[in-house]
Amino acid sequence: MVPRTSVHLASYAAAAESGKLSSILVAPRPNYGSLEKFLKNDCKSGKIHIKDAVGHFDNMLHMQPPPPTSSFNLFLGAVAKTKHYEDVISMYYRMVAINYSTDFITLNILINSFCSLKQVGFGFAVLGGILKRGYSPNVVTITSLIKGLLVEKKINEAVRLFKKMVELGYRPHIKTWGTLINGLCRTGNSERALLLHQEMSKGNVLFGVPFRPNLISYSMIIDGLCKEGLVDKAVKVFLDMKEKRIYPDVVVYCSLVHGLSDAGKWEEAKAFFNEMVDQGIRPNVVTFNVLINALCKEGKIEEASRLLDLMVQRGEKPDSFTYNTLMDGFCLEGKVDNARHLFVSMAAKGEERDVISYNILINGYCKCGRIDDGWSLYKEMLQKDYKPTVITFNTLLTALFREGKVGDAQELFGEMQRCGVTPNSSTFNILLDGFCKNNCLAEAMELIQLLEKTGHELTIEIFNCVIDGLCKGGKLEDATKLFVSLYPKGLVPTVVTYSIMIHGFCKNGQLEKANNLFLEMEKKGCFPNVVTFNTIMRGFCDNNDAPQVVDLLQKMAEKHISPDLSTISLVVELLSKDGKFYEYLNLIPTFSTRSDEK
DNA sequence: GTAGGGTTAG
């Protein structure tokens, strides 16, 4: 066991420099002076590079006598700040493996690393270790665990832990509140975060603890609301913030401009942008990126390009986001050659391409049917040592299936796993959808079974896709079997699932079954939408059951479901049936939307 | 020495 030492590093440095330690030092001779400089300057300011970190760690680990645990904590904390949590964890275990001493802080850093990697279970295991070693968890420990629960979307457990900590007499730190609010916002619970925030700003003491909202808490909520598409609410919160004399900065404006332009409220977005400039807040590279992205999504690629020129003129250096966004903008317009040109010029302008640049361009090629060009880019990225991501593979798989190249897709899926890239739920959706659309239903069923066996969480969307494939492949019985197996699996059919099944029954002439399902879904609390209505009405229409269609149209009107183009063409068809135009015309209801009624 | 904020891709 390496003895724990309280001797400060400076004395090591002094001893080393005076040469007194030279006889016991192992080669290569450690440089305590430079270690201390490294810890104090680079680690504290967070300016370390992961590539150097591993080397420093090796040096530290083999110094004789060993640096104190606090130096390792400083170092591990700095590595954690670079978000290389896997490295933190492996370094911790290397310390443990040689019996190096660790302390409470080391364990807190370890918990935070596990929690940030969505491994809250391991986080709690480390908590067990903390207690076993006789330490007491502190606010930092619990804050990390709350974050861990939140990133795994265990919202109620996180709130419960928060309440528990207050009950136990811990005073949440401002960062604890921040973690809770941020976690809620990032998991699509911004409104819940907002309620919490409002309670706090009223000066109400929540869970016995006062808290004053600040720029950061407002910023997280405004951004969260924007991301959930609740932009009007976000604007209200923004105004409320200003009323409280908390002054928005470039970040808050950026969130708002982004949210509003994503919601298509381009004029409002522009107004906030102008307000920001009027306030003397300088747009930064991120602001420009958001604007460029908005223009690209609007199809205004020329304007977006001009904005790039403008930002360069203003001395704001475009980054990889800027180029990637513009590249994607070109691809969206089908101008993949322009995107390629940008891709080439990026390197010339000294901007490093990244995996995302490749993904965007590969996607651009695949979308316009130039799958071979996409493929050779994939080969190029491998050759240049860029590690393809799950998105790279998903993009190529989608394209291969669309071209009907099932064998190539299967081969690529194998390659993906050999590369160590873990498929995600989109990958499985693509595979299942691809199998179904290419009439490989046996493969689809086999994959479903494999996924279930390996404990993959299968979503209702995946089943929708397979059930649809089975229906369209004429295997209605298998589809029905799969449909009824959903409930025991704990999956709730959605309006899409019902619509697929209803479509299947209708196509098979089993209108009674279709209608029963249609009636049943509502009883189960799943309400038909315009697609469901169109589907079943189409069934009755094709079966020359006009009264049923009329009946359903009336139901649809009662439910204030707006007809779409399919509905209209159905009605036209109905009116031309049996020469009973006028008879049916009188029965067609008037549709109104809820907003009409107000 | 450890815990909280904004932009891009399938």
3-state secondary structure A509-520: CCHHHHHHHHHH
Mean pLDDT of A375-404: 94
Going by pLDDT thresholds of 50, 70 and 90, the confidence category of residue A472 is confident
pLDDT at A209: 60
A71 touches strand B (CB under 7 A): no
pLDDT at A361: 95
Chain A window 491-510: residues with CB closer than 7 Å to nucleic chain B are none
pLDDT surpasses 50 at A196: yes
Of A196, A167, A164, the C-alpha closest to A179 is A196
pLDDT surpasses 60 at A378: yes
The distance (Å) linking the CA of A205 with the C1' of B3 is: 22
In sequence order, which residues have a C-beta less than 8 Å from that of residue A278 and are 6 or more positions away? none
Q: Which nucleotides of B are covered by protein (CB under 7 A)?
A: 1-10
For chain A, what percent of residues have pLDDT higher than 70? 89
Which of A17-31, A87-101, A520-534 has the lowest average pLDDT? A17-31
Sign of the CA dihedral A227, A80, A180, A249? negative
Chain A window 436-495: residues with CB closer than 7 Å to nucleic chain B are none
pLDDT surpasses 70 at A387: yes
As a whole number of Å, the end-to-end CA separation of chain A is 77
The distance (Å) linking the CA of A163 with the C1' of B4 is: 18
Whether A519 contacts A510, CB under 8 Å: no
Closest residue, by C-alpha, to the C1' of B6: A251
Closest residue, by C-alpha, to the C1' of B4: A178
Backbone angles phi, psi at A209, to 5 degrees: -130, 125
pLDDT at A568: 87
The distance (Å) linking the CA of A142 with the C1' of B10 is: 36
The verdict on whether omega for the bond into residue A65 sits within 30 degrees of 0, i.e. cis, is: yes
Structure tokens at A106: 């080391």
> Which nucleotide's C1' is closest to A393 (Cα)?
B10
Nearest 5 degrees, angle CA A266-CA A270-CA A274? 175
Chain A window 322-351: residues with CB closer than 7 Å to nucleic chain B are 324-325, 328
pLDDT at A347: 80
Chain A window 504-563: residues with CB closer than 7 Å to nucleic chain B are none
Closest residue, by C-alpha, to the C1' of B1: A74
Mean of all residue pLDDT scores within chain A: 86
pLDDT at A27: 38
Between these two residues, A34 and A423, which has the higher pLDDT value? A423
The verdict on whether omega for the bond into residue A137 sits within 30 degrees of 0, i.e. cis, is: no
Mean pLDDT of A538-563: 90
pLDDT at A108: 96
Going by pLDDT thresholds of 50, 70 and 90, the confidence category of residue A16 is very low
Going by pLDDT thresholds of 50, 70 and 90, the confidence category of residue A91 is very high
The distance (Å) linking the CA of A365 with the C1' of B3 is: 44
> Which nucleotide's C1' is closest to A106 (Cα)?
B2
pLDDT at A206: 58
The distance (Å) linking the CA of A3 with the C1' of B7 is: 48
Closest residue, by C-alpha, to the C1' of B3: A140
Backbone angles phi, psi at A199, to 5 degrees: -55, -45
Chain A window 205-224: residues with CB closer than 7 Å to nucleic chain B are 214-217, 219-220, 223
> Which nucleotide's C1' is closest to A254 (Cα)?
B6
Q: State how far the Cα of A69 lies from the Cα of A110, in Å rounded to an integer.
A: 14
Within a 13 Å sphere around the CA of A484, how many CA atoms are in the beta-carbon half? 6
The distance (Å) linking the CA of A33 with the C1' of B7 is: 40
Of A513, A512, A433, the C-alpha closest to A473 is A433
Count of CB atoms situated within 10 Å of the CB of A265: 16
Structure tokens at A136: 């007491």
A102 touches strand B (CB under 7 A): no
pLDDT surpasses 90 at A1: no
Which of A20-34, A293-307, A476-490 has the lowest average pLDDT? A20-34
The distance (Å) linking the CA of A126 with the C1' of B1 is: 18
The distance (Å) linking the CA of A16 with the C1' of B2 is: 30
Q: State how far the Cα of A479 lies from the Cα of A504, in Å rounded to an integer.
A: 9
DSSP letters, A49-117, are -HHHHHHHHHHHHT-SSPPPHHHHHHHHHHHHHTT-HHHHHHHHHHHHHTT----HHHHHHHHHHHHHT
Cα distances from A150 to residues A143, A156, A556, A564, in angstroms, run 11, 9, 40, 40
The distance (Å) linking the CA of A62 with the C1' of B5 is: 39
The distance (Å) linking the CA of A338 with the C1' of B10 is: 21
The distance (Å) linking the CA of A252 with the C1' of B1 is: 31
pLDDT in tens, A220-270: 999 999 999 999 999 999 999 999 899 999 999 999 999 999 999 989 999
Mean pLDDT of A361-388: 93
A426 touches strand B (CB under 7 A): yes
Whether A497 contacts A460, CB under 8 Å: yes
Q: State how far the Cα of A553 lies from the Cα of A587, in Å rounded to an integer.
A: 9
The distance (Å) linking the CA of A204 with the C1' of B9 is: 43
Chain A window 135-154: residues with CB closer than 7 Å to nucleic chain B are 138-141, 143-144, 147
Q: State how far the Cα of A462 lies from the Cα of A452, in Å rounded to an integer.
A: 12
The distance (Å) linking the CA of A290 with the C1' of B6 is: 10
A115 touches strand B (CB under 7 A): no
> Which nucleotide's C1' is closest to A390 (Cα)?
B10
The distance (Å) linking the CA of A272 with the C1' of B6 is: 15
The distance (Å) linking the CA of A321 with the C1' of B2 is: 31
Of A138, A134, A157, the C-alpha closest to A147 is A157
The distance (Å) linking the CA of A438 with the C1' of B8 is: 32
For A448, counting Cβ atoms within 10 Å of its Cβ (0-12 exposed, 13-18 middle, 19+ buried), the class is buried
For chain A, what percent of residues have pLDDT higher than 90? 59
Mean pLDDT of A345-366: 89
- Bridge partners, residue A206, by sequence: A209
A260 touches strand B (CB under 7 A): no
pLDDT surpasses 60 at A507: yes
pLDDT at A22: 37
Which long-range contacts does A418-421 make (Cβ < 8 Å, 24+ apart)? A419/A387, A419/A388, A421/A388, A421/A389, A421/A390, A421/A393
Q: State how far the Cα of A500 lies from the Cα of A508, in Å rounded to an integer.
A: 12
Q: State how far the Cα of A306 lies from the Cα of A290, in Å rounded to an integer.
A: 14
Structure tokens at A346: 């990026």
The distance (Å) linking the CA of A129 with the C1' of B9 is: 41
Chain A window 164-203: residues with CB closer than 7 Å to nucleic chain B are 173-179, 182
Mean pLDDT of A132-142: 96
> Which nucleotide's C1' is closest to A139 (Cα)?
B3
pTM reported for the whole predicted model: 0.78
Whether A109 contacts A97, CB under 8 Å: no
SS3 content of chain A, % helix, strand, coil (to 5): 70, 0, 30
Structure tokens at A241: 């913030």
- Bridge partners, residue A209, by sequence: A206
Whether A197 contacts A213, CB under 8 Å: yes
Number of H helices, E strands in chain A: 35, 0
